[in-house]
Chain A
Amino acid sequence: MSDRAYAVVDLGALGFEEGAHILLNRALARIPPGAELAVTGTDPALEVHLAVWCREAGHRWTPREHGATGPVRGRVTRGRADADRWAGAERAGGPGPGEVVRRPSPSWGLAARGALVEPGGPGLAADLDDRDIVWADLAPKLYAHAASAQWDPATAVAWDSEVSLPDEVEKAVVQVMTYLVENEQAALVVPARLLARVHPHFREVLQLLAVQAADEARHVEVFTRRALLRGGEMGTSSAGGRSSLASLLAEPDFSLASFLLSVLGEGSFLSLLSFLDRHAPDPVTRQVARLARQDEARHVAFGVAHLEHRAALDPHLRSRLRAAVERRHDALRDTAGLNADVFDALVILAAGAWTPQAIAEGHRRVRNLHAEMDEGRRRRLARLGFPPDEAAELSALHTRNFM
């Protein structure tokens, strides 16, 4: 019997109740289907369990002949089931970001990038499944940076700092915080929705969007906490402001959503948060604005990097971006834009006092803020290849709500 065997595996005292199949599988993997493996071992139940295991695994089991002696307890003829299971298997691209494929198969589903994927699994409903639609070569680097730059809202802000502002100034801070929370909530929902639609093959994009959503979640928390620091009520939320944000949520296209939110909206917010860092009347407000700005800068960088990547591949991208801005502008034409309470609150904060001269100075500073936002948008639009006059025109069409 043993001379017909292709190979031998010695299971020692190991039984199937203790993992004998692992040694057996290892030995079977080394012989082709149809070949025989002689099995030796001392577990009393070995022959019973081998027969069961072979039957279930699709191998054939031949026990030793009645009365036969010697160490060989029987033979396993390797079946085809294991080979058949992996017959049409393919690698889901390669694990590294450089090995991302253009169109990952929906059937790869949630498999790790680079995993060997058994065919026949359920397809994943991830409609954003084209590298050129979601990818940016900068994504892995930005994600690494984002992950390392996370901060703890409980400790990153000196919440116990002395904050004793006159009531009207405190009210202005609360109003601005209330407005920021509303905007950050939109900025949380947009990447979270996109995240659910991106094929997991583009892992770094998913990770980045997840961190982006987490960033916004923290911003919502710290702005709310600052608003309530003195125990007052939250400020107002205008219909026009919410219309503007609702129109952001309505954009289904990944690149256009990223353009409207990150490049134009969050880009404008960089100026707003710098403004607050400069003019806020207390250290806590300055700190939360500064911390949020660091995160927003990264979101803007990803948006720009992604759109640069796309613009290089798609000559029509710019006309689509333009159309998206125009569409949003038209949709918001009849709304009031920025919450008037927010505008006044910004003026009050920048004024620093209640004299007519101070208010005039505050007003001038808010106008400067508008100009800075506009300049930043034009600069980013130029990076995406828009000529200066077109960049200026598009920037002017951007929503008056800033985001």
Chain B
Amino acid sequence: MLLMGAVAYDPKVVTIWSRFREWLTARGLPFDFVLYSNYERQVEDLIEGRVHLAWNSPLAWVRARRLAGRRGPEVRPLLMRDTDRDLTSLIVVRDASPYTSVADLKGETVAVGALDSPQSALIPLSYLRGQGVVPGEDVSVRRFDVGVGLHGDDIGGERRAAAALAAGEVAAACLIDANHLLFARENVLPPGGTRVLAQTAPYDHCNMTVAGSAPAALVDRFAELLLSMSFADPEVRPLLELEGLKAWVEGRDTGYDALEAAVDEAGFYDASGRITADDYTP
């Protein structure tokens, strides 16, 4: 039996993985999943060998890699969604504001999502540092801690950051690129009323992390089956749509450098994967 962990950041996760399980077992793969309330416990269980695979956020991948180096066998990113590659974060300002570069934000307040959100806190704050604007010193950071422990999968914090920008409470908001468009469509942001002040370099998002101790034949079959899922197959298409992808692709570990750096800068985890962020209680 191949056992996968997934974080229940939304009720639809139950539907998604129940249907995947049904589909996989119908193809002869003994597969089950365990739901977690937060990524930290999921990663710890992966490393302890209580699950073979974990559907990990990018931050959970970073921690899994660090923990594995210290405590257990290697981990690797087995698979990703096509939509997990080459995402960016944006620093957005109101269109009418005077800022033309991130340096102009000095002395102002920047809104971010939850402290453990790679896309709307860790990576964009690291970007600001890279541009010589130190969060907490050069700019104040207003954080919206919604769904802490879910690594930003709950976009409530990001939405509130955007709303704070729209309301004029902050000078800028940090968002993942897709949410900039989404929030305009939802009228959280006035359409056409904001401007992208800066965009980070592309990075990768979730991956299916496999522990080295997992049964290799089952893992191979799991990967083979998922990679075979075709958007043209009417039975599979609803599953892919629920999970937000058109195709599964091979995993890669080349898109996490920005997050690794951000984690170090923020003192979020230490080099061996211990949680070191003061105010982080998943």
Contacts and interface: CB of A to CB of B under 8 A. Distances in A.
B171 to A, nearest CB: 18
A53 B181 contact: yes
B235 A48 contact: no
A48 B192 contact: no
A206 B200 CA distance: 57
Interface string B208-242: 00000000000000000000001110110110000
Contacts of B230: 84
A49 B184 CA distance: 11
B199 A55 contact: no
Contact of A79 (B87, B90, B196, B246): B246
A388 interface: no
B246 A48 contact: no
Nearest to A53: B181
Interface in B96-142: none
Contact of A48 (B90, B231, B237, B244): B90
B57 to A, nearest CB: 18
B82 A58 contact: yes
Interface stretch (A12-20, A167-175, A211-219, A227-235): A12-20
Given A79-B246, A118-B234, A48 B82 contact: no
A48 B184 contact: no
Contact of A80 (B88, B184, B231, B244): B231
Interface string A67-101: 00000000000011100110110000000000000
Nearest to B84: A55
B185 interface: yes
Given A17-B191, A120-B238, A49 B180 contact: yes
B196 A58 contact: no
B86 interface: yes
A51 B177 contact: yes
A385 interface: no
A84 B83 contact: no
Q: Secondary structure of the B side of the interface?
A: mixed
B178 interface: yes
- Of B191, B196, B231, B237, chain A has the most CB atoms within 10 Å of the CB of B231
A120 B237 contact: yes
B180 A45 contact: yes
B21 interface: no
Given A44-B195, A79-B246, A85 B235 contact: no
A250 B177 CA distance: 60
Contact of B246 (A51, A58, A119): A58
Interface string B167-194: 0000000000110110011000001100
Contact-residue bracket for chain A: 20 to 34
B232 A88 contact: yes
B82 A18 contact: no
Given A17-B192, A45-B196, A56-B83, A84 B232 contact: yes
A52 B181 contact: yes
A52 B199 CA distance: 13
A18 B185 CA distance: 9
B268 to A, nearest CB: 26
Contacts, number: 66
A152 B116 CA distance: 65
Contact of A119 (B180, B234, B244): B234
A87 B231 CA distance: 10
Interface string A46-65: 00110111011010000000
Interface string B47-87: 00000000000000000000000000000000000110011
A85 B237 contact: yes
Contacts of A51: 86, 88, 177
A38 to B, nearest CB: 20
Contacts of A84: 230-232, 237
A81 B181 contact: no
Contacts of A81: 231, 246
Nearest to A57: B246
B237 to A, nearest CB: 6
A17 B83 contact: no
Contacts of A45: 180, 195-196
B88 A48 contact: yes
B49 to A, nearest CB: 34
A359 to B, nearest CB: 72
Interface in B226-264: 230-232, 234-235, 237-238, 244, 246-247
Given A51-B88, A84-B232, A120-B235, A17 B185 contact: yes
Contacts of A52: 177-178, 180-181
Nearest to A47: B199
A87 B238 CA distance: 15
Given A58-B82, A58-B231, A120-B237, A16 B88 contact: no
A87 B235 CA distance: 13
A6 B196 CA distance: 30
B150 to A, nearest CB: 21
A288 B68 CA distance: 85
B178 A56 contact: yes
A336 to B, nearest CB: 56
Contacts of B87: 55
Interface of A: 15-18, 44-45, 48-49, 51-53, 55-56, 58, 79-81, 84-85, 87-88, 118-120
13 contacts: A44-B195, A45-B195, A48-B90, A51-B177, A55-B83, A55-B86, A56-B178, A56-B244, A58-B246, A84-B230, A84-B237, A87-B232, A120-B238
Given A88-B232, A120-B238, 7 more contacts: A48-B177, A52-B178, A55-B82, A55-B86, A56-B244, A58-B246, A88-B234
Interface of B: 82-83, 86-88, 90, 177-178, 180-181, 184-185, 191-192, 195-196, 199, 230-232, 234-235, 237-238, 244, 246-247
The 7 closest A-B CB pairs, nearest first, are A120-B234, A119-B234, A84-B232, A58-B246, A17-B191, A17-B184, A84-B231
